[in-house]
Structure 1
Amino acid sequence: MKNKVALIVLMGLVGWMPVRAQQEVQFSQYIFNMLNLNPAYAGYRGGTSLNVIHRRQWTGIPGAPITTAASVDWLTNAREERLALSATFMMDEMGAQKTMSGGIGATYRIPLDEEGAKRLCFGINGGFLQYQIDGSVLEYVDNNDERIPVGKPSHVEPDASFGVYYYTPKYYVTASVNNLLQVTNMQAYNWNDQFFTSIVREPHLYVGAGAVFNLSEHFKLKPSFLWKEDFKGPSNIDLNAFLMIHEIVWVGASYRSGFKLWDKSNLQKDLEKQDAVSALLEVFATKWLRLGYAYDFTVSGLNNYQSGTHEISVSLLFPGKNKREISPRYF
């Protein structure tokens, strides 16, 4: 119990201290919609795609992260499919801190074959990040403590992301940088002439690749990986593998861990590398409707204090009017 209380207190303190570590929002089902990671992904589905995802992390711990995200992307010219637009929104809550973000993106998609099945895509997204602290969530000992804000003070910062996405019917390569404008440790809140800084999102680099292999007439295998880097915290990698059954169901698993890519003198030497193992299920209820669920098993020292992470997603695809049959999209 003492350890649990200490953990909760630590999470509360994080919102008040200048933290310079890897803290970008993590979704397990990004593998089926990479728009939140890479704006160049817009238009890949071949129509208008609407996606919603909700994640409850570390259930059982008060103040644990809860994240909801929504996105939509669409092609502006159905004939050549060269230009796609997108809009994203995300709300992330952890303890007394809430972060909201939104943006509008544009993607230019260069066809590399006559059918347009191979494309090199460049995307950019511009928007905002709002950091907010809810003073009513914080507990204090002394009444009228001037360091405890009343209400919900907030601060808004501009934000931008850029990405490159190359795909064929059999494999893809992705690279992107998010939070490009979050380069300073800003003074986010001014309450009674006291300045507070919440967990400020650092620029993050994402590099990954994946492929799909035909095992038989009704089974396909899709392995992939994603390297996540903020150049200050530990390097992280996701290793994923999925089996598609009868073009209807994806079942698979993901392993998330830290690794040493180069020496970072600012890090503790004894940091735990293991993070989580995820079990995922994606079902195409109809040709245009996908339902997803993921459960994360935490394998770090946090495992004794929580009951896992739940994540659900819904995706709808609206093909354009008089549009030709869309080839299968596995990424």
Structure 2
Amino acid sequence: MRKRLIIYIGFLVLFFHSISTFGQQLPIYSQYMMTGFLLNPALAGNDGYTSINLTAREQWLGISSAPRTHALSVQTRLLKTSYISKSTSVRRKITRPSREGRVGLGGYVFNDKNGIIDRTGFQMTYAYHIPMDNSQLSFGISANAFQFSIDEDEIVLFDQDDPYLMEYDKIIFIPDANFGVCYHTPELFVGVSATQLLRSALKLGNQSYTNYRLLRHYYIMGGYKFDVTPEIVIQPSILMKSSDSFRSFQIDFNARVFYKNDYWAGLSYRTNDAMVIMAGVKVSQYYFGYAFDYSLSNIRKYSFGSHEFLIAIKLGDSARRYRWLNRY
């Protein structure tokens, strides 16, 4: 009578075991530089703009039921107008408006389809930015939640009409939190963050499976910009990733080249995983990016690679951009 329930639990436990082993509990993005606050909440609103990003990713094209991710993120800086008085002579003063603010906000929703498991998640982020001469120190925290469900259309079972099993709740709702710190200068950025801090356990109905938990993920990121010419900028960067188990320790070595702030191209090497080629263009306030992942594992024998598309819009004129922050 409980056959179907056991199968549901079996699928979910198997899924949690596999992602605990390989550390892929979070959606993978190759163009994370464009939405850095998803890895480090301290980056929400760091450039002073309001930006909206839409990402679509098809992983391991050619493999049936391979991961497929769609995501929408929004971030902004809460700015207010203040007035600065400047004396031009003993009798004359000029007052001019200035836009400033220290609070950044971010929001993020995604859907990740991985075989029979469907994950939907959302995240709300708060960041506080502290100006320090020609640099900035930022702190951020995120509250997030994941909903795991099983696509019954992908499962063929006997005794489909068992009323007890039909009424059983097959959706898991898991809350969690992230924290991050980041330091910026005009050329340098360094950040440290941790995600899934609560290590929530798999729970189905009234039963909790404490042996199968979300793992904490730790990130260390950094990069530096070199002005080669007035029109060409090169930015090497690095991202180190690990989980509680340290089985999934991974490093991304990245290098991007920007031309006139309107075009960019880059390469990324993700250890024991993939080589990534990326390119993009800026048209007015719109940004279009593409990334292709060539797998370095045995899965490349069966896959045509992974493809990721990004469309973004940044709202706000140049006066809203803080001079010591990321220009791209």
Q: Report the Cα distance in structure 1 between the residues aligned to 2:102 and 2:241, rounded to whole angstroms.
A: 28
Where 1:34 maps in the other structure, the secondary structure is helix
- List aligned pairs for 1:237-256, cutoff 5 A: 237-256=251-270
Whole-angstrom distance in 1 between the partners of 2:51 and 2:308: 19
Contact 1:15-1:199 at 8 Å conserved across structures: no
Distance 1:325 1:297 in 2: 35
1:134/1:153 contact within 8 Å kept: no
1:279 to 277, 280, 291: 277
Letter in 1 for 2:266: G
1:61 aligned counterpart, secondary structure? coil
Structure 2 counterpart of 1:314: 311
Q: In 1, are the aligned partners of 2:215 and 2:244 still within 8 Å (CA)?
A: no
Distance, in Å, in 2 between the alignment partners of 1:284 and 1:198 is 47
What is the number of residues matched between the two proteins? Answer: 292
Which residue matches 2:117? 97
Give the Cα separation in 2 of the matches to 1:82 and 1:304: 49
Distance 2:210 2:160 in 1: 21
For the structure 1 residues 195 and 40, does the alpha-carbon distance in structure 2 shift closer, same or farther, using more than 3 Å as the test? closer
Higher helix share: 2
Identity %: 30
- Aligned to 1:119, which of 130, 136, 142? 136
Spell out, residue by residue over 1:60-80, the C-alpha distance to the aligned partner (whole angstroms, 9 max, x if none): 111110111111111222433
**Larger deviation: 71-80 or 164-173?**
71-80
Q: Which residue of 1 aligns with 2:244?
A: 231
Alpha-carbon deviation of 1:129? 1.4
In structure 1, distance between residues paired with 2:236 and 2:121: 30
Q: Give the conservation status (yes or no) of the 8 Å contact 2:143–2:176.
A: yes
Shift of 1:234: 2.3
Q: Which has the larger radius of gyration?
A: 2
2:87 maps to none
Structure 1 gaps of 5+ residues are 1-12, 258-273
Deviation per CA, 1:215-234, whole angstroms, max 9, x where unpaired? 12221111001000103122
Contact kept in structure 2, 1:211 and 1:224, CA below 8 Å: yes
Q: Deviations over 1:8-62 (max 9, x none)?
A: xxxxx86442412301221000022202111111112212111111111001111
**In the alignment, residue 310 of structure 1 is paired with which amino acid?**
H
- How has the CA–CA distance of structure 1 residues 324 and 75 changed in structure 2, closer, same or farther, with 3 Å as cutoff? closer
- Match of 1:219? 232
User: Can you list the C-alpha shifts for 1:118-149, whole angstroms capped at 9, x where unaligned?
Assistant: 11000011132111111221234x45498xx7
Task: Tell me if the contact between 1:101 and 1:128 (Cα under 8 Å) persists in the aligned partners.
Answer: yes
Contact 2:57-2:308 at 8 Å conserved across structures: yes
In structure 1, what is the equivalent of residue 288 of structure 2?
A: 291
1:202-261 deviation digits (Å, cap 9, x = unpaired): 21001110111011222111100100010312211100011112221111110001xxxx
Q: What's the counterpart of residue 42 of structure 2?
A: 40
Amino acid at match of 1:52: L
Write the distance in 1 (CA, Å) between the matches of 2:102 and 2:225.
24
- Describe the superposition over 1:248-277 as per-residue Cα deviations: whole angstroms up to 9, x where unpaired: 1111110001xxxxxxxxxxxxxxxx2100
Q: In the TM superposition, what are the counterparts of 1:120-269 in structure 2 within 5 Å?
A: 120-140=137-157, 142-144=158-160, 153-183=170-200, 185-187=201-203, 189-190=204-205, 201-232=214-245, 233-257=247-271
1:271-320 CA distances to partner (integer Å, 9 max, x unpaired)?
xxx2100000021112x211100000001111101110000111111117
TM-score, with structure 2 as normaliser: 0.81
Unaligned runs of 5+ in 2: 1-9, 81-98
Higher strand share: 2
1:15–1:197 contact (8 Å) kept in structure 2: no
Contact 1:97 1:198 in 2 (8 A): no
**TM-score for the superposition, normalised by structure 1:** 0.80
